[in-house]
Amino acid sequence: MQQQERASADKPPPGMGSLVARQPMLTMGILAVSVIGWAVLAWMAVDMEHPFAQLTMPDSSNWSVANMLAIWTMWSLMMAAMMLPSALPMVLTFVNLSGRSRQRARGCSFVAAYVLVWLTFSAGAAAAQRALQAMGWVNPMIVSTSAWLTGLLLVASGLYQFSRLKHLCLSRCRTPVVFLLGQWRAGASGAFVMGVQHGLFCLGCCWALMALLFVGGVMNLAWIAALSMAVAIEKLAPGGERMAKALGLVLMAAGLLKLVVLMA
């Protein structure tokens, strides 16, 4: 069975349109989860007085357990909304390369592992939010109240766009077949390991851009959408590597301008 899976993996994959046609239910399922995430974020931005929305916006850093769970849920939904669409080519390519045998189980295992990485990141982001709120650097809607924090986050995110780690992770995200064949493992457990690996590459590619959510806040849908588009362009568009560096220049310029104004 392992040899059959490996032989299937060695075959060149079809184009994106063909992959979607072969896996319409999986495609719609992943996109549906993303849409649900966006819908919940939009609802929270419109109805901030709802009890759940209020739980995600505590007035101080003295969070209750309910606050912690609600904020972690909010971050998790936001990561699902932002990251799953750009992961779709990788997931569909993986399912196609897995062959017809146990395809569904391996696909679910791969996606579950990928989501787990971002759920873990969401816990870290919630902890960072609490720490920044305790220092008075962000308000309850996670908008930066510190010009220094804003400037430094912009500069740091811009610099990271040129880092070797960013280039390595982005290259793995942009070439699904190269990543999958290089890390191929058989069985559902092997698919889970591969999903974790891809999730970590994706996290390494995008964490600095996700940190910019502390600049614009999580109730600013335009800001979230702009970051989502930046991630998608980097990972999916022709010339995405060059776009990543161009974005890095813009972020550094904006951050430096902010810092220069502060020091003037």
Q: pLDDT digit string (tens) for 26-41?
A: 889 889 999 999 999 9
Q: pLDDT digit string (tens) for 253-262?
A: 999 999 998 8
| Length of the chain (residues) | 264
CA 162 to chain centre: 19
Structure-model confidence comparison of residues 179 and 138, the more confident one? 138
How sure is the predictor about 74, in pLDDT bands with cuts at 50, 70 and 90?
A: very high
According to the model, what pLDDT value does residue 100 have?
56
pLDDT of 3 over the 60 cut: no
**Contact criterion met (CB below 8 Å) for 77 and 38:** no
According to the model, what pLDDT value does residue 14 have?
58
Structure-model confidence comparison of residues 77 and 5, the more confident one? 77
How sure is the predictor about 21, in pLDDT bands with cuts at 50, 70 and 90?
A: confident
Q: pLDDT digit string (tens) for 145-204?
A: 999 999 999 999 999 999 999 999 999 998 888 888 888 888 888 899 999 999 999 999
Find the range with the poorest average confidence among 13-27, 31-45, 171-185, 232-246.
Answer: 13-27
Beta bridge partners of residue 133, listed in sequence order = none
Query: Residue 77, CB half-sphere, CA atoms under 13 Å: how many?
Result: 19
Q: pLDDT digit string (tens) for 82-130?
A: 999 988 888 888 888 776 555 667 888 888 999 999 999 999 999 999 9
Which residues contact residue 128 at a Cβ distance below 8 angstroms, ignoring those fewer than 6 apart?
214
The helix (H) or strand (E) run that includes residue 93 is helix 65-97
| Tokens at 223, concatenated | 């800001």
According to the model, what pLDDT value does residue 2 have?
45
According to the model, what pLDDT value does residue 4 have?
45
- CA separation for the pair 236, 173 (Å, rounded): 9
State mean pLDDT over 72-88: 93
Global pTM value: 0.88
Q: From start to end of the chain, where are the E strands?
A: none
